Amino acid sequence: MAPTQRPFLPSLLKEIGVGIVAWAVIFPVGALATLIAVTLAGGERVPSVHPIVQYVDGHRLEVFLLAVVIAPIVEEVIFRNFVYGFFRFRFPGFFAALFSGFFFAVIHPYSAVLMPQLTVLGAGLAILREHRPGIVAPIVTHMIVNGLAFLFMQLLF
């Protein structure tokens, strides 16, 4: 007899819910990491704005789709499957998550002060991927992060 599979929709909804809860856990840890980094840097202002901001005006829908939908899907496939997988094969889970999280932070064009926050995010997404059956939950968490960043960009610029 074939193993029983969970119905698609309830499984998808559960993974979406897990992604939302994961954001609520990862975000405060990342914010604390940023606060510590800013304090250690002597209160350096974080002037960091993603280079995509210059293209937003007049192209909001395209930037939204790229930043909030496409980038999280592509980055999660690359970082959680390939990069994390590479490190996971060579190191225990926590270190693999930390190394892939740091690599995730390095490729994002922000101020060095945000490196701890992005490392925490990348590591948190890797840990989430380790404990979930697929990449839906990390994609949802990543979409929330990028969606909120996009929203704040719209409000500030």
Q: Is 58 helix (H, G, I), strand (E, B) or coil?
A: coil
Residue 127: its pLDDT value, please? 97
Query: Which residue type does 26 have?
Result: I
Residue 112: its pLDDT value, please? 82
Tokens read off for 141: 């968490």
Neighbours of 150 (CB within 10 A): 19
Residue 74: its pLDDT value, please? 98
Residue 110: its pLDDT value, please? 80
Cα angle value 66/68/72 (rounded, 5°):
90
User: What whole-number distance in Å separates Cα of residue 123 and Cα of residue 156?
Assistant: 28
Q: At what angle do helices 115-131 and 8-40 cross, to 10 degrees?
A: 150
The pTM score is 0.86
Q: Mean pLDDT of residues grouped by 10 in the chain (157 residues)?
A: 69 96 97 89 63 68 93 97 96 97 92 90 97 96 95 81
Residue 1: its pLDDT value, please? 46
Query: Any idea what DSSP says for residue 42?
Result: T
Residue 73: its pLDDT value, please? 98
User: What whole-number distance in Å separates Cα of residue 27 and Cα of residue 43?
Assistant: 20
Residue 156: its pLDDT value, please? 77
